[in-house]
Structure 1
Amino acid sequence: MNSMNYNIANTRPYGRGGQRLLTAAIVSLCLSACGGKVLDARNAEVVNGKLYQRGENVPFTGAVTNVPNGVVFSADPGLEQASNAVGKALLYAEPNGSNNDSAMVNLQQYMMAIGLHPMATDPERARVLCDVQVRDGLLDGAVKCKKARTDDVVLETTTSAGRIDGKLTAYRFSNGTQHPALIAKFKNGQLDGKQEVYSSRNDKLIHRIAWSNGIADGTEEAFDENTGHRVMQVTNIAGKNDGEYVEYAPDGERVIHRLKLEKGVPVGVEETFDPLTGKLTGHAEYANGRLQGTVKRWNPSGKLIYEREYQDGEMLRPDDAVTECINDRVITYERATGQHEDPAQRDEWDASCREQRRLVSSSAAQGAKQ
């Protein structure tokens, strides 16, 4: 998901509209002089996967302009994978987390702006229109896509026999200047090689993943968009996380999350740590991908705020003593405040009551020994 950074020239002696007409005229003259054909997408049709000039019986060969991006990339499943990876990387980089409506709205707008989603097929409604080269009705050659009614190039790649083949680059624009958004390598329509995603706020690399024939295979990493340090690392084998999954604080040094996976399935111990102090904030254990035993969470000061027991992935009900303790606290709280407790408060009471029960049991055991 790398991308080169070019500036659009600010000097427009003919004005934006005039320059676009002049450019189109020059391209048309050049192609005509070279014996090539130029066809506007409005005069084209796709039949059985091949492009024809409307009314003709022989598949078209030449240049086609103003093709909606949804028509150009409809046969490339790899582009959807690349688009999903961009979304995943951008949400991961969100400073306030990805589970909020504003983050999703911003992501949708960004994906539209760089030509990756949604893929429209109607020329009148498409936000991104592409100029392509076609041979015998199939995409074959350079593809350059622009925001509709502008000269802003947001995506470019090469194709062969109807599929993306080679480097694909997507760009974002800020104050009229082109910035990198994504670079990916394709082979016969499938992601193959390194893919890099760049921050939507600056030009820093935020995600890198390796692909082999459309399957994630190799190292996957995420990077902090401000410090540039690595904040996540995992290995993919045959499309699944395999080995240790590690997340780091923005300094790239302090581990904040560690988990082991086998073929995408969590096994053994999972732990989380406070990014500032390094104190343990979470502990869980897995057997064959299912939670097993005690799950605990602590706040940054070390107070236990969550505790549950699991067996084969199923949460066990607390015993009668813990249940009675929780109910007493709920009643006391409601009488004092006139309100119902929130889930976080109930979790904290649950953990406290379990800890209290352990202390009582420990005292009783000590007394029995004496």
Structure 2
Amino acid sequence: MKQILKALLAPSMAVAAAVLLAACGPTTMEFRNAEIVQGKFYRQGADKPFSGKIDNVPSHTILIRKEFEVVSALPTNVLDKAAPGIQHNVMGQVCEVRVDKGVLDGTTTCTTGAGKFQAYEMTFDQGVLTGEFKFYFPGTNKPKAVVRTDHGVLDGRSVVYGPESGREVLNVTFKQGKLAQTEEIFDDQSGKLVRRIPVEDGAITGEIVEYVKHGSQLYYRSHVQMGVKHGLEEQYVHESGVLEYRQNWVMGQLDGDVLRSKRDPKTERTVNEQYVAQRYANGKVIYAADPSDGYLPDLERIAEDARQEKVRACVKERRDKLAQEGRDFLNDTAIDQLSAECYHAVVAATSSTPAAAPSSGMALTPAKLQGCVDARIVAFRIQHGNDEVITADQLSEWESECREGKRS
């Protein structure tokens, strides 16, 4: 009797299953057959959100969420300290996602290289990132980080690995998005500390320090009490280790002098010479230095300005003398010539280069050198007149002759 009933019911059950499958459709589809409407996945042309597995989903489709930015920032920022210059991500990631009524729900995996290399593994709970988020170094299948979240917020133990050594460069615990213990990041190559953020009773308290050059050079340090700056803060130049600035905080407010290092006006490089850039009292500025105070004096420019001042005085003196003699010396060419002669005289008189000894073996002082050159100028004027231009090359030649002790 039972066998007769089974035989009679079998066709009906098969028909019912076929009708059910036809109504629901297959539970797997390619992304090219999907569409996203108001944040939910649909099979193209369908009225109801899709439930099941979707293959070959471009990663940017699901990784544009705000919580992903928060989670991915952790390994990125850590490795920028522990392994500077590392490549973080590659293009062309595709994902296999699971959705429930159009919403991400369950495990999502992303790969590159036609599925050969893992990129990410994550879990969603009704559209919210939660649980473990695993990162892999591009094109290696080597673990990069395991970040734990609770509905989009950092929560639990997170670990970041070095790309070369494979050892932990960060092992820290978060509680609802905040550090729950002291954070320490170590250099991947040397194993030395590169950053420490101390935490006590759930708040940042103590001395924050950062090092560069594989942990061998101090870059930054500051003192904090319960998350508020309190005490010394200073930063150094990454390349040279020279102090960049030093300032003091009193419960979150600047107080006292802010010291900064000066810069070379030609190269803009920071040099080891400090000045008071600002002065604070209870968080308010009571003094601010002139921007020019932040640079070393341009000695060459200062010297040239001084020479030009002497040249102007020389020109005036000679023009006054010529005017007294009743000689017309006011045309542009003559003035330019006079300026050139005065500039040459000033340079010779202020030159720090010792004068060469003449043939007599006696030292040639700047005054004697100028007298020698002036004698040649007078001789030139007698022969060619006042309107003839004396070139700078001619003046230099006369100076060389005077230094060598040659007679005119």
1:111 is the counterpart of 2:79: no
Contact 2:81 2:194 in 1 (8 A): no
Cα distance in 1 between the residues matched to 2:201 and 2:63: 25
1:310 is the counterpart of 2:279: yes
CA offsets 1:255-310 (integer angstroms, 9 cap, x no match): 775421235432122357999xx9999743112434322344689xxx95112142
Question: In 2 relative to 1, CA 248–58 (structure 1 residues): closer, same or farther, beyond 3 Å?
Answer: same
Bigger CA radius of gyration: 2
- The 5 A counterparts of 1:7-86 are 37-75=27-65, 77-86=66-75
Correspondence for 2:256: 293
Cα distance in 2 between the residues matched to 1:45 and 1:263: 49
Contact 1:82 1:184 in 2 (8 A): yes
The aligned amino acid for 2:279 is Y
Correspondence for 1:194: 157
Correspondence for 1:118: none
Flag as ranges the 4+ runs of structure 1 deviating above 6 A. Answer: 237-240, 249-256, 272-275, 278-282
Question: In 2 relative to 1, CA 44–148 (structure 1 residues): closer, same or farther, beyond 3 Å?
Answer: farther
Cα distance in 2 between the residues matched to 1:273 and 1:136: 54
Cα distance in 2 between the residues matched to 1:333 and 1:58: 79
Query: Which of 76, 95, 110 lines up with 1:130 in the alignment?
Result: 95
Question: In 2 relative to 1, CA 57–233 (structure 1 residues): closer, same or farther, beyond 3 Å?
Answer: same
Query: Which of 211, 216, 219 lines up with 2:182 in the alignment?
Result: 219
RMSD: 4.1
CA offsets 1:181-225 (integer angstroms, 9 cap, x no match): 221012223221122333345424333443223344432221112
- The 5 A counterparts of 1:163-312 are 163-173=128-138, 177-235=140-198, 241-247=204-210, 257-270=220-233, 283-296=246-259, 305-308=273-276, 309-311=278-280, 312=283
Contact 1:36 1:63 in 2 (8 A): no
SS of equivalent to 2:45: coil
Cα distance in 2 between the residues matched to 1:239 and 1:334: 56
Structure having greater relative contact order (Cα 8 Å, sep ≥ 6): 1
Contact 1:216 1:237 in 2 (8 A): no
Question: In 2 relative to 1, CA 245–55 (structure 1 residues): closer, same or farther, beyond 3 Å?
Answer: same
Correspondence for 2:79: 90
Contact 1:139 1:161 in 2 (8 A): yes
Question: In 2 relative to 1, CA 267–333 (structure 1 residues): closer, same or farther, beyond 3 Å?
Answer: farther
SS of equivalent to 2:149: strand
Cα distance in 1 between the residues matched to 2:218 and 2:88: 31
Unaligned runs of 5+ in 1: 1-34, 96-102, 114-125, 339-370
Cα distance in 2 between the residues matched to 1:79 and 1:216: 18
Correspondence for 1:152: 117
CA offsets 1:306-351 (integer angstroms, 9 cap, x no match): 12142136372459xx97xx99x7363324589xxxxxxxxxxxxx
Correspondence for 2:357: none
Question: In 2 relative to 1, CA 318–161 (structure 1 residues): closer, same or farther, beyond 3 Å?
Answer: closer
- Which protein has the bigger helix share? 2
Q: Which segment drifts farther, 306-315 or 162-171?
A: 306-315
Contact 2:57 2:95 in 1 (8 A): yes
The structural deviation recorded for 1:94 is: 5.6
Cα distance in 2 between the residues matched to 1:73 and 1:212: 23
